[in-house]
């Protein structure tokens, strides 16, 4: 048995990037916890009943509820918001890390937003973010810490910061750090695929995020119009 701690930037990232991986690991007897760094405050909203909440504080409650539903479906048994106990360094007042936002540099590559404020994840001191991840790893008794590759997957600045901070936390703890791999042709140490039952769970987790994308069988359309095949197999590479 291996205890995994996944560090993700926003609600839905754990499902989009690692839903299949988490389902497969959990069903193989490996407990998984997720730390979510921000509440995705800067994310756009799919046209529908929650459209009026875009850019307002009300969207955070909706996104937190979507996150809770998805985590339950995936089989995650531990969750924390970064900056709040148990994902906050001891003796420090809790805080919220805010979504840094992003802009599309190309159709497939994101870059920093011009709107990131002083309370955003990317504006926070890297050592502070890492200390909070250390606290979460100790609470979960994590054997392995997991986050994005150094490019953040597609360049989102919050993803890149999660990579940097999780790697630093793993180094401080002396524990392994694995990055997410979604292409089987890329180097990997662990590769997981889901069976029909697991696939159904991954699809259900995606359906929990009605504000973020639409689902058509095993395909996703993001709020910005980007199309993506659902990730039904993924792996880990030890850094």
Q: Residue 35: what are its φ and ψ, rounded to 5°? A: -105, 130
Give the CA distances from residue 219 to residues 148, 151, 207, 227, 232, in Å, rounded to whole numbers and listed in that order. Answer: 22, 24, 11, 7, 11
Q: Rounded distance, CA 162 to CA 8, Å?
A: 7
**Which residues are 34's β-sheet partners?**
6, 79
**pLDDT digit string, tens, across residues 181-238:** 999 999 999 999 999 999 999 999 999 999 999 999 999 998 878 889 999 999 999 9
DSSP 110-136: EEE-S---TTBGGGS-HHHHHHHHHHH
Q: Rounded distance, CA 201 to CA 203, Å?
A: 5
The pairs formed by 117-121 with CB atoms below 8 angstroms and a separation of 24 or more are 119/95, 120/38, 121/9, 121/37, 121/38, 121/82, 121/97, 121/157, 121/158, 121/161, 121/162
pLDDT number for residue 106? 73
pLDDT number for residue 217? 92
What pTM does this model have? 0.95
- Which CATH class for the 4-238 domain? alpha beta
pLDDT number for residue 54? 77
**pLDDT digit string, tens, across residues 8-47:** 999 999 999 999 999 999 999 999 999 999 999 887 888 8
Cβ-based neighbours of 232, under 8 Å, separated by 6 or more: 20, 193, 194, 199, 202, 218
The percentage of residues in the chain with a pLDDT greater than 70, rounded to a whole number, is 97
Q: Do 212 and 46 meet the contact criterion of CB atoms below 8 Å apart? A: yes
**pLDDT digit string, tens, across residues 74-123:** 999 999 999 999 999 999 999 999 999 877 777 667 666 777 788 999 99
Of the pLDDT bands very low, low, confident and very high (cuts 50, 70, 90), residue 159 is very high
Q: Count CA within 13 A, CB hemisphere, residue 129.
A: 28
**Which residues are 219's β-sheet partners?**
216, 229
């Amino acid at each position: 048995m291996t205890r995994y701690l996944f560090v993700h930037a926003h609600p839905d990232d754990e499902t989009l990037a690692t839903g299949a991986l988490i389902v497969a690991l959990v069903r193989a007897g490996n407990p998984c916890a997720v730390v979510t760094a921000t509440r995705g405050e800067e994310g756009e909203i799919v046209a529908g009943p929650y459209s009026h909440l875009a850019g307002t504080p009300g969207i955070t409650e909706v996104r937190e509820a979507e996150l809770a539903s998805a985590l339950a479906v995936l089989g995650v048994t531990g969750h924390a918001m970064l900056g709040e106990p148990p994902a906050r360094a001891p003796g420090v007042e809790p805080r919220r890390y805010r979504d840094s936002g992003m802009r599309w540099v190309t159709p497939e590559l994101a870059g920093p937003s011009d709107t990131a404020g002083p309370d955003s994840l990317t504006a926070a001191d890297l050592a502070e973010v890492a200390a909070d991840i250390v606290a979460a790893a100790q609470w979960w008794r994590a054997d392995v810490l997991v986050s994005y590759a150094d490019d953040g997957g597609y360049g989102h600045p919050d993803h890149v910061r999660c990579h940097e901070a999780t790697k630093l936390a793993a180094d401080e703890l002396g524990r392994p750090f694995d990055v997410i791999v979604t292409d089987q042709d890329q180097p990997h140490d662990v590769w997981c695929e889901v069976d029909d039952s697991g696939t159904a769970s991954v699809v259900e987790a995606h359906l929990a995020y009605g504000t973020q994308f639409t689902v058509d069988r095993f395909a996703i359309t993001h709020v910005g119009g980007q199309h993506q095949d659902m990730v039904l197999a993924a792996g880990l590479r030890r850094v």
